[in-house]
Amino acid sequence: MYVKLITPSTTEPFTIEEIKLYLRVEGNEEDSLIGDLIKNAREYAENFTNRVIMPATYEAVLSYSDYQRLYVDIPTSPIIELQTIKYFDGTEVEQNFLIDNDFNLDSYREPYRIKFINSITESTKLYPVRITFIAGYEIGKIPGNIKMAMRYLIAKWYEYREDFTVKNGFSEVDKMLWHGRVVPI
C-alpha cells in the first residue's frame, strides 16, 4: 500500500496572533518567522507521532495482494472521513465499494483498519483499489499534549534561533508527544 497527499491542509493549528501572545511578541516584524515556526512545529509533531494534525485529503492505493489480506491498515491517522473506496474489476471497469456491504471500517484502534467483505476479480492494474479519505483532527480537537509540545517547540526555536540542539528542547518535546504516537506496524 502506498499513501499520497492529494490536498494539503490550508490551515495551521495556531494563528500567528496566538503564538505571538504565547511568546509575548509585539509588533509584526517577525510574523513571517513565526508562521514558519508554526508550520515546522506541526510537521515535526506529525512526523514524530505518525498522525496528521490538520485536516488534509489523502489517497491510498492497494495492490491485489494487499486487498486479499484479512485486514488492511490505513497508516494515516486519525481519519475524519472515508470518502470513497473504488476498484477496477476484472473487465477494468471502475466500481465503488459500499460501506457495510463490501467493507467494514474499524475505527476503534489506530491505525484504522478496513476489512473487505466481498472479493473482487483480479485486475491487470498494478493498484486496482483506491481509497480516498480525509485525515487529521477536527478543528478544536487536537489533543492538549500535542498542542503543548508544538507551543514548546516554537518557543524554543524562537529563543534559540542559531543554536537549537537536543539540550535546548527536542528531548522534552519528544517526551510530550510520545504517548500520542501511532507506532508503525
| Domains with residue ranges and CATH for the chain | 9-51+142-178 (1.10.3230), 56-135 (no CATH)
* CA-based torsion, 40, 45, 51, 55: positive or negative: negative
Task: Please say whether the beta carbons of 109 and 121 come within 8 A.
Answer: no
Q: If pLDDT is split at 50, 70 and 90, which confidence band does 136 have?
A: very high
Q: If pLDDT is split at 50, 70 and 90, which confidence band does 178 have?
A: confident
pLDDT value, residue 95: 87
Peptide bond into 111 cis (omega under 30): yes
Task: Please say whether the beta carbons of 113 and 62 come within 8 A.
Answer: no
DSSP helix/strand/coil, 29: coil
> Chain-centre distance of CA 62, in angstroms?
18
pLDDT value, residue 97: 86
Question: How far is the C-alpha of 11 from the C-alpha of 67, rounded, in Å?
Answer: 34
Question: How far is the C-alpha of 61 from the C-alpha of 78, rounded, in Å?
Answer: 18
Instruction: Give this prediction's pTM.
Output: 0.83
DSSP helix/strand/coil, 60: strand
**What percent of the residues of the chain are helix, what percent strand, and what percent coil, each to the nearest 5?**
30, 25, 40
For 30-60, what is each residue's pLDDT tens digit? 999 999 999 999 999 999 998 999 999 999 9
Outline where DSSP puts E strands in the chain. Answer: 2-7, 56-62, 72-74, 79-88, 94-96, 103-106, 112-116, 129-135
For 78-110, what is each residue's pLDDT tens digit? 999 999 999 988 888 888 888 778 888 888 888
